[in-house]
Amino acid sequence: MRRTQELNLFCHSAEPGRAPTEPAAHLPPGLAHFPAYLDAAAQRALADDIAAVIAQAPWFTPRMPRSGRPFSVKMTNCGPLGWVSDQDGGYRYQPTHPVTGQAWPAIPARVLDVWREIAQYPHPPEACLINFYDVSARMGLHQDRDEEEFAAPVVSISLGDACVFRYGGLKRADPASRLRLHSGDVLALGGSARLLFHGVDKILGGASALLPGGGRINLTLRRVTRP
Ligand code: SIN
Ligand code: MN
């Protein structure tokens, strides 16, 4: 995608009645950060929606392919497809929870609203990965590339404690920059930023009272198949 198109992609009013939100100038084209996209009431409503999802689809601990080493984050999903990882099967999408065998719950309407407002992509997301980070959890540098469809952005919503988010380039060794993500922030990786390496270096404990017991929840919305 051309640079001008990418700049247009995310330069629009984030919400009706709200000041236009544009990606900060220092971010690479296609990487868009919408600080405080969700106000306190919207964050509360979303946290309640996610608690209802977790009641149906409990947290599981994913494991690294081959080594079987556990991730430090707990995960679950909602949507027709969920992202899972284990020692034998590796990274993949599947329609059922790896422990309960049940279909994933539907993506809450409020989460789909964020996708519709931000993604500028005409089809719904199929996967909403829900990560939980306690204060010691991290996410190593990686690309989101288990999807067939890279024309859709990855849209991520942060709830609870803040974090230090790291993003680099298209190669693992490219220089990295850091961005603080707070509760209610939305981040999109689209266009030429769709495959940027990224990860979570650190959770900033005590930054938010949204989640009982603290910690951070990240919702990652992705289109998996080509329509
Ligand atoms: C991820 O890339 O899987 C999660 C990113 C985040 O937690 O912000
Ligand atoms: Mn990712």
Looking at the 3D structure of the chain, how many domains does it have? 1
The whole-number pLDDT of residue 4 equals: 34
196 lines ligand 1 (CB under 6 A): no
Flag whether 15 is in a domain.
Answer: no
Cα(2) to centroid(ligand 1), Å:
26
Q: What is the band of 3 on the pLDDT scale with cuts at 50, 70, 90?
A: very low
Flag whether 104 is in a domain.
Answer: yes
Residues in the 5 Å CB sphere of ion ligand 2:
144
Residue 100 pLDDT more than 60? yes
The domain that holds 47 is classified in CATH as 2.60.120.590
C-alpha–C-alpha distance, residues 80 and 33, integer Å: 27
For range 14-18, the mean pLDDT = 36
Flag whether 10 is in a domain.
Answer: no
Cα(11) to centroid(ligand 1), Å:
23
Q: What is the band of 18 on the pLDDT scale with cuts at 50, 70, 90?
A: very low
Flag whether 28 is in a domain.
Answer: yes
- Cite the beta strand spans of the chain per DSSP E: 12-13, 20-21, 31-34, 74-78, 82-86, 90-94, 127-133, 139-142, 154-160, 162-167, 177-181, 186-189, 198-204, 216-222
C-alpha–C-alpha distance, residues 223 and 227, integer Å: 9
131 lines ligand 1 (CB under 6 A): yes
Flag whether 41 is in a domain.
Answer: yes
Q: What is the band of 207 on the pLDDT scale with cuts at 50, 70, 90?
A: confident
Flag whether 190 is in a domain.
Answer: yes
Q: Whose CA is nearest to atom 6 of ligand 1?
A: 218
Question: Tell me: the pLDDT tens digits for 20-35?
Answer: 455 455 899 999 999 9
Flag whether 110 is in a domain.
Answer: yes
Question: Tell me: the pLDDT tens digits for 142-176?
Answer: 999 999 999 999 999 999 999 999 999 999 999 99
For range 92-116, the mean pLDDT = 98
Flag whether 58 is in a domain.
Answer: yes
Mean pLDDT of the chain: 91
Which residue segment(s) compose the domain that 199 sits in?
A: 24-222
Cα(62) to centroid(ligand 1), Å:
14
104 lines ligand 1 (CB under 6 A): no
Q: Which atom of ligand 1 is nearest to the CA of 165?
A: 8
The whole-number pLDDT of residue 169 equals: 97
Cα(71) to centroid(ligand 1), Å:
13
C-alpha–C-alpha distance, residues 221 and 227, integer Å: 16
